[in-house]
Homo-oligomer: A and B are copies of this chain.
Amino acid sequence: MLEDKNTSKTELSDLGEFALIDYLTKTIKPKNNSTLLGIGDDSAMVKHGENPSLISTDLLIEGIHFDLSYMPLKHLGYKAIIVNLSDIYAMNAYPEQILVSIAVSNRFSLEALDEIYKGIQLACKNYNVDLIGGDTSTSVTGLIISVSVLGTGPKNKIVKRKGAKENDLLVVSGDLGGAFVGLQVLEREKAVFKVNPNSQPDLSKYSYCVERQLKPEARKDIIDLLHELKIVPTSMIDISDGLSSEVLHLSKASEVGFHLFEEKIPIDPVVSLTCEEFKLNPLTAALNGGEDYELLFTIHQNSYDKIKNHPYLTIIGHATDIKNGCKIISGLGQQIELTAQGWESFSKK
């Protein structure tokens, strides 16, 4: 399908670990002032001045978090960085450095690793982040990517999951469900391909959803916008596991309930149409789909005028007394309790 058909192959065993690291990192030069020491020592060194350092980490495993039969390696490298950057933006802060560890089995060539690094370096360029360290190793089977990200921001502007107050407005950026629906399209095409390897899939009408899945972006622009509008959210989280799960996280940390309004939840028309084709409820895709990497946050009601009608932001509900729980209210006034689906990676399938 979309797999890299690069024919030139250099075996990693011909290089050895140190030469491989030199090769992959030779073009990497730190750009941020806060990066004091990059790749090549026992540890890297950063200094965020008077501001605290934020740090987050994610582990991505082939066969669990991604499927190389439809995920091009360059996109995978890009996405591995994006999902980490998103965690720093979700604190209303800016990522500045990343460390990337990669383990590959001997079925991967140097050219394959090169593709992954191209994606990593493109994400670094687009988001102004320095690659400052990591680890390179073999794996028994498959590909493993572990990314750690460092960021910073003024302490009084950093936003946690805790902090939402009753009557605060609940706001989401962009639209939801696209990444999940994109995954359904790709899984279907993979199944078709298995039956007929000569089939030429036409994914053009699904391109929005497929791109949301294969090449997501982190919402740096929303953090820029919040700074411009002089809004500091009272709580914030990024949507990696699905709206439902993230609302429950904010609820638990902030000790408030939430009321969401079904008709306010932003879903792209392409996502709705594709859901229809797949006999899926678009609301389910938005609530439980995950991997949208949009930002979900609460703001005080007096910020309403600043964001109303903003094309990138939608007010989808408000915080209530914790006793009311977290509910979604349908157009007909029905109240449905939100349940934590999340990424139940340990569930028996």
Contact = CB atoms under 8 A, between A and B. Distances in A.
Nearest to A237: B42
Interface string A112-153: 000000000000000000001111011111101010111100
A241 to B, nearest CB: 9
Contact of A151 (B40, B43, B48): B43
A90 B236 CA distance: 37
A88 B57 contact: no
Contact of A42 (B17, B90, B142): B90
Contacts of A46: 52-53, 55
A56 interface: yes
A284 B77 CA distance: 39
A59 interface: yes
Contacts of A99: 55-57, 148
A195 interface: no
Interface stretch (A61-69, A178-186, A201-209, A225-233): A61-69
B47 A17 contact: no
A340 interface: yes
A91 B61 contact: no
Instruction: Give the size range of A's interface with the partner.
Output: 35 or more
Given A48-B53, A52-B46, A65 B137 contact: yes
B59 A137 contact: yes
A246 B24 CA distance: 21
A255 interface: no
A151 B137 CA distance: 24
Interface stretch (A8-16, A167-175, A319-327): A8-16
B345 A138 contact: yes
A346 B20 contact: yes
Nearest to A161: B41
Contacts of A135: 57-59
Given A15-B346, A54-B43, A64 B138 contact: yes
Interface in A33-49: 36-37, 40-48
18 contacts: A17-B342, A17-B345, A18-B342, A20-B346, A37-B160, A41-B91, A42-B56, A42-B91, A43-B90, A43-B93, A45-B158, A55-B148, A57-B57, A57-B135, A57-B146, A58-B101, A59-B102, A141-B141
The 7 closest A-B pairs by CB, nearest first: A43-B56, A146-B146, A42-B90, A59-B101, A47-B52, A63-B140, A148-B148
